[in-house]
Amino acid sequence: MKILIVGASGTIGRAVAAELGQRHEVIAAGRKSGDVRLDMTDAASIRAAFGKVGRVDAVVSAAGEAKFAPLEQMQPADYDLGLRDKLMGQVSLVLIGRDSVADGGSFTLTSGVLDSDPIRAGSSASMVNGAINAFVMAAAIELPRGLRINAVSPGLLDESAGELAPFFRGFETVPASRVSLAYAKSVEGARTGQVFRVV
C-alpha cells in the first residue's frame, strides 16, 4: 500500500511510520517536515499535498492540537484551536482527500482517551475527541467506493508521561509502539466506523 501519514514527525506518527513502513510505502507529511508539507488547517495546503502525492491507499492522521487550561479560564475563543486544528483539520483531510484515496482505501484519525476519561484543564480536548469519534461513526455509513474510516483513541503515552504525568494522575501509560498496532489494525484490516481504544 501507499500510505500518507500526517503528523509523521510526532511521537505517535513516528511509531506508526515504523510499524507500517515495514510492509508498505510510507509518505511522511507535516507542517514543517516530511516528504510533503501539509497544514491540516489550510484547505489549499491539503489539496496541494494530495496533488503532489497522487493516489494513495490510506491516509493516517496522527496530528492535531487543542488548548489545555482550567475551565474557569477558558473563553469561547480558547476552544477555536481544538475545533480548527484537531477536529476540522482531520475532517478536512477526509473531505478533501476522499477523491485521492483508492477504492476500498481508508482514513484513520486520532482522538484520545479524554473523550471518556476527562481530566482537569482538558475540556477542549475532551470535546474535540468526542466529536472526532462521532464523525468517524457517522462518516463510515456514507463514504463512497468502499472507503473505510476509523479512529484510534490512545491513552497517555510512555514517552509523554514525564511532562504530562501531573495532569494524568492514576492513568496507566502505553508505549507508542503498542498504539501503532491499532493504526495497523485500522489500515490493514476490514473494519470501519470503529474507535480503537489503546489504554
* Out of 107-111, 151-155, 167-171, least confident range: 167-171
**Rounded Cα–Cα distance for residues 7 and 23 (Å):** 19
pLDDT by residue (tens digit) across 18-70?
Answer: 999 999 999 999 999 999 999 999 999 999 999 999 999 999 999 999 999 99
pLDDT by residue (tens digit) across 157-193?
Answer: 999 998 898 899 999 999 999 999 999 999 999 999 9
Q: Is 73 helix (H, G, I), strand (E, B) or coil?
A: helix
**Rounded Cα–Cα distance for residues 40 and 156 (Å):** 23
At 85, which helix (H) or strand (E)?
none
Domains and CATH numbers, the chain: 2-198 (3.40.50.720)
| pTM of the full structure | 0.97
